[in-house]
Structure 1
């Protein structure tokens, strides 16, 4: 099984606040008016996602949606004659289970936990109720879907035109953002699958980044040493994706 590991607690009746620097909140929920957010959270349950946990497989009915807080999840194309390719990486900026917003109950992607941690889980039925009751949630998720579609198109271009080293730098930056840490664990096998390249390609790219003192990578343990330098090494897709999210949702 492919997996990487990256190493809500609120007082009773306390609603997570987007302005709090001391807790990792889901940005979709934090952007909602307080009354909407509180009602939605009463319909959610906190869960701990484990590295390598498969939330859903292609063709399965979507029974729950997840709002990650300090976990993150890969959505991967169905394996056929290859190991699959990561389409989206979702952390506390988004939601897992977005087809339900469009009324689609079946997923076409494999949903795999890449970074362990907490998330809010809501049943598909409850999400339907929430969308009917909260115009703010509906508007926010519509905008998020627009961002995802644009990011998906960006990922296609990135995979086709950008070199492995730049794509690896972009993936590491995205993972660091969602892990909320400069240190995490990820294997060559996972990186090769997520980037759609052979393991030797990942080895060469990681070695190049390490020789430039941008990262330290040994036995799957990654440390980001120079974020600014890593950003300069990454393809422009990272900045484009971040900018799009900020323009549409912030």
Structure 2
């Protein structure tokens, strides 16, 4: 297994022959911070298998701030709904963590999921994981405190960025968590005082992962558990 396929956990589940064909049909390119890969409602032109970095799935509401409804990193792919025959994107896909990705033309991808039942099954299982995680996020937003939700988000981002260091503004965090900026500021300050993170001018460094896991709500462990259960 080549290093770049192994870097994407979804592709790593495929038999060697199928992985080889997918690689031959992909371009490897850089995900640039702030880049929009597809707008909500637009038709996919490509699917993406991130190797490093992460993509925020942003739900847009009329006259309301945007809200993050999911994250895609090396554990999955962008464009999985194509396995259902749905060619339009349900959310805006915004790069929030720069890195590398494999990109495949949609027409090629739809041909391959018809040719390889295992590929289709893996993508469908991943869609199920995303649905369960979306439901978990909805409940989390309603019932859990901002500090616990922020800890969960930082851990989820760390897992996908594969780094303890990443750049994020308080304003963006507030939008992603669906809270006022002052709430994020207070929660981040408490974490910094406890030595869990270092946060300065939009740059976050995770200093104590175990401590951050203890501070996070139960949703973080639930997210990881559903991935292991379904993708196994």
TM-score by length of 2: 0.97
Instruction: Report what 1:241 is aligned to.
Output: 223
Matched, 1:89 2:71: yes
Partner deviation per Cα, 1:110-154 (whole Å, 9 max, x = no partner): 110010010000111011111011111111111101101111100
2:34 to 43, 52, 55: 52
Instruction: Report what 2:106 is aligned to.
Output: 124
SS of residue in 2 equivalent to 1:65: strand
Matched, 1:175 2:157: yes
The 1:15–1:239 alpha-carbon spacing in structure 2 relative to 1, beyond 3 Å, is closer
Matched, 1:216 2:202: no
SS of residue in 2 equivalent to 1:100: helix
Instruction: Report what 1:98 is aligned to.
Output: 80
Instruction: Report what 2:44 is aligned to.
Output: 62
Q: Is the Cα contact below 8 Å between 2:5 and 2:19 reproduced in 1? A: no
Which has the higher mean CA deviation after the structures are superposed, 81-90 or 145-154? Answer: 81-90
TM-score by length of 1: 0.90
Q: Is the Cα contact below 8 Å between 2:5 and 2:11 reproduced in 1? A: no
The count of aligned residue pairs is 232
Partner deviation per Cα, 1:72-129 (whole Å, 9 max, x = no partner): 1000101422221111111000000122111011112111001001000011101111
Instruction: Report what 2:132 is aligned to.
Output: 150
- Cα distance, 1:247 vs structure 2: 1.0
Instruction: Report what 1:39 is aligned to.
Output: 21
Instruction: Report what 2:210 is aligned to.
Output: 228
SS of residue in 2 equivalent to 1:27: coil
Question: Normalized per residue, which structure has more helix?
Answer: 2
Q: Is the Cα contact below 8 Å between 2:53 and 2:162 reproduced in 1? A: no
Q: Is the Cα contact below 8 Å between 1:78 and 1:108 reproduced in 2? A: no
Partner deviation per Cα, 1:51-81 (whole Å, 9 max, x = no partner): 0000111121111110000021000101422
**Structure 1 residue ranges without an equivalent (≥5):** 1-9, 19-24
SS of residue in 1 equivalent to 2:154: helix
